Structure formats: C-alpha cells, structure tokens
Structure 1
Amino acid sequence: MSDVNARIDAEVKNNDVVLFMKGTPQFPMCGFSGQVVQILGYIGVPYKGVNVLEDQEIREGIKAYSNWPTIPQLYVKGEFVGGCDITREMFQAGELQALFEEKGISVKQAS
C-alpha cells in the first residue's frame, strides 16, 4: 500500500464519518462539496472534513482509493457511500439517515 493510500485508509478507518472535499466544512470551495456539507449539517451528523485542495497526493489518491472519479466523497464507518448526487438522492429518500442510524451514528430528528 502506498503512503497516500495508508493516509487515506487511516482517515477512513479512524473516523466514523469522513468527507473528502474541496475546501473545509466551514468554507466549502465548490458547490458539490457545499451541498454535502449542508446535508450533513442538516441531519446533525458529526464528521471530519479532509480538504483535498491542500494535498495533491490525497486529491488524486482518493479517486484511486474509491475507484470514483469525483470529489466530494463520503465515507461512513469505513464504507464508501458516494459523491454529491448519491448523497443528495439518499438524503431525499431518507436512506442516508437510515444508513447513519444502522451504523450507530445518531442523527438529528426533523421537527
């Protein structure tokens, strides 16, 4: 396993929810990353944001790691969930919230 793969693997395995994104959760640098940040914020799930713009190795490495060509990429309990479109569709269908609950991650209940 290459050094960058080991670093990505550590992030994915050591954090319940990880979002590889452009920018930070406070300052997303692309609309797609921003949408996923909004969804995670709305359902109240704590997560770690990894800014791929700060590290070219991670930016390229994450695409090979997941075999997924685009960023953002969401991981839950070590499992690749998807990018912006998949995350949004799962959220709208209630599947994302169910996934978090199934994995033992509490979500904020909609009022």
Structure 2
Amino acid sequence: MSDAMNSTAIDRIKQDVTDNDVVLFMKGTPNFPQCGFSGQIAKILSFLEVPYKGVNVLEDPDIREGVKQYANWPTIPQLYIKGEFVGGADIVRELFQSGELMDQLKTAGVPVKDPRQPQ
C-alpha cells in the first residue's frame, strides 16, 4: 500500500469511527459475515440490539490493511465504540460474557438491550 493510499484509508477509517457510535470492521457484512470471528461479534451486537456500522474490509484492501495500522492490531474483526478501539473477537466475547461490553456501551451512551433486565 502506498503512502497516499494509506493516508486516504486512514482518513476514511478515522471518519467512520468518528461519525458512528459503534463500528465493526469485519470480513463480510452484518447480515452476511464471511468469517466466524466477524460473525461472532455481529451476533453479540445483534443480541444486544446495538445500532452499528459494519465495514466490509474484503471490499477494500486499503481499508483492510489500514485498519490494522490504525489500531496497531493485526487481526480483523475490530470493534470501536465512540472512536475507541475495544478489541477483536476474543476480547469482545470475553467482555460480553462478563457484562463489561454492555456496561461500556451504556457508559458511552449507546442504546443497548440489557438481557439481565426483564422486558
């Protein structure tokens, strides 16, 4: 990836994480994940009824590489809440299982369904 492409990709990534409360850089789309790890995070966010933007890194090699540099994290998927990098599949799954992900979303002001509360 050239420096010009890299800077454009980084700018687009910054724009996405700034303009959206929750962003998932993933392989595939929220409705059609193309890897199991991306699918796990999409299912967690769907279960919690979190509105989010899914960015399919398979559509753009510059974004696919740029997001790894942006977070200094080598793998995809990557979840961002209010511009902050949260982690990849293992971290997000652990945060979800412990209840910390839901708390983090609530603290950030993101609407979330609390499965611990009766409806």
Larger radius of gyration: 2
Residue from 76, 86, 90 that aligns with 1:81: 86
Alignment match of 1:97 (pick from 98, 102, 112): 102
Residue aligned with 2:111, SS = coil
1:1-111 equivalences under 5 Å are 2-110=7-115, 111=118
Structure 1 unpaired stretches of 5+: none
How big is the shift at 1:99? 0.1
Structure 1 residue 5, shift from structure 2 partner: 0.7
Q: TM-score, normalised by structure 1?
A: 0.98
TM-score by length of 2: 0.91
Q: Structure 2 stretches of 5 or more lacking a match?
A: 1-5
Q: How many residues align?
A: 111
